[in-house]
Chain A
């Protein structure tokens, strides 16, 4: 029987300064519990309240985006999220990824690249415009503000990745430096 090499995994977490990692089907309650752990951790590390709130906010928007996508797309396995929070070079980093349809992945890539080209003033303008748009009738969530809000909280352009998989799907991820 092969057993997972946990020590090796732990060494990798340590080397990459990973504070928190999750991989699996994400639920509403898991998002809350992991978020709670993240907040407690940041409090114990005496992160500034502003840093703690920004990290938490980006974590929530990323994971809730995945939940909303999984529910709306009905794509099998889309609710399996990979979430990593790390602290290196003086910054917190929040990353999350999941499987998406190829065309959705491309659309997200384009949107993130478009946002990355904007400065703080441009981001605020587009945020306010989106805030003013009437939301889709029947939508219970997804104000379309999440990606813009993430870009506004980032201290460097958000880094997207898109890896082609089989069956018309891709693995999409976002890495955000706070």
Chain B
């Protein structure tokens, strides 16, 4: 029984972004296929199209030369396409068996026999009658897989399955996947981890910016060739003039920073060490979900870290909250500008008041000094060329670029000594990106320091003096920007090593 899945000229266009651009791929059972790409390369969109969650604007999907109409996840199930998402869709308080029986058509006795057979066959050790919340992440994933196997899938799609697994669980998973593949199930494995592609998959399709850029056999590839394909050759002509005369004056020192999260979807940070000089821009690259969020929150004070791990101008600040850190002249621009850096339903001047200093006198004796805040807001709007002068406008009516200018303006108008920003330009148009890059270069020239956490390598190579890569919560050695090239970055981001 041979299964062939063919994706033919599929396109999906979102406002302002082409998620899938004329994607054509062919898969055949008996092999494990990798779909490799950075975040935003279009992998997830393609997977969602295959599982019927979203409809493509153009193109067709054929299963064994039969045209598939996938308008809902149900259609995918009925056509024997199984899907295991990165985040599990299980009811935590129900038992394993109850979870499995929810959407199966079989009666409970038959289902139990079927499930027990599957468990025995693949040597999965799961107690069917314990609640899901008692299971480890790896076991939960097995439940999801069993749920697919009940339906005799012809195609099994795994979306970044190892992001929550331990090493041992990952090995187990790979063994099972190889077994499924031998039994004739077509496996499509979505990932951005280069090593996994090489150790598990037979063929690899690389996606970049919505397009399939290469299809090849993994035997013909190695870490660096894949990294190159994934990242692409970047042109970093507009690179910032390297500041050779970096001052010796140390602004920030992070040493032996460790963070263990209780949340399995968060990344633990392991032994982070770096220093930052006055006027320097330190870039932190990495594929998203490797600890950038956690690192930003620890640097901004939303999450507190171990004692002595963060020193700002030789003052210990690891136990200070963001407001207290602002008093030391630090400023923060988080990744989520829409719902974290600002509240959409608040007016511009109210959003400005979020960055409140002792010296700014926004709240004299606890009272809201509206006039002062409004004057201050007007100054931000004009100094940072935000496209409005109405401080009473709700910030939800600002475009992404203008909102980001407002936020950066709010953070920078107090002339902080250190700005920590996380993906400051994602989703913005070229004009706004340019403006923000110029602003960042300018404050560097004024002797202010920047930590730029970003998933955009071009941006990092343009703006940073030194670059480090974060992978699985570990920071690579810090390299000066001159010795870094896209290939090296790609390798480090995929978990490889460079010397």
Partners in one complex: no
- B residues neighboring A (CB under 8 Å): none
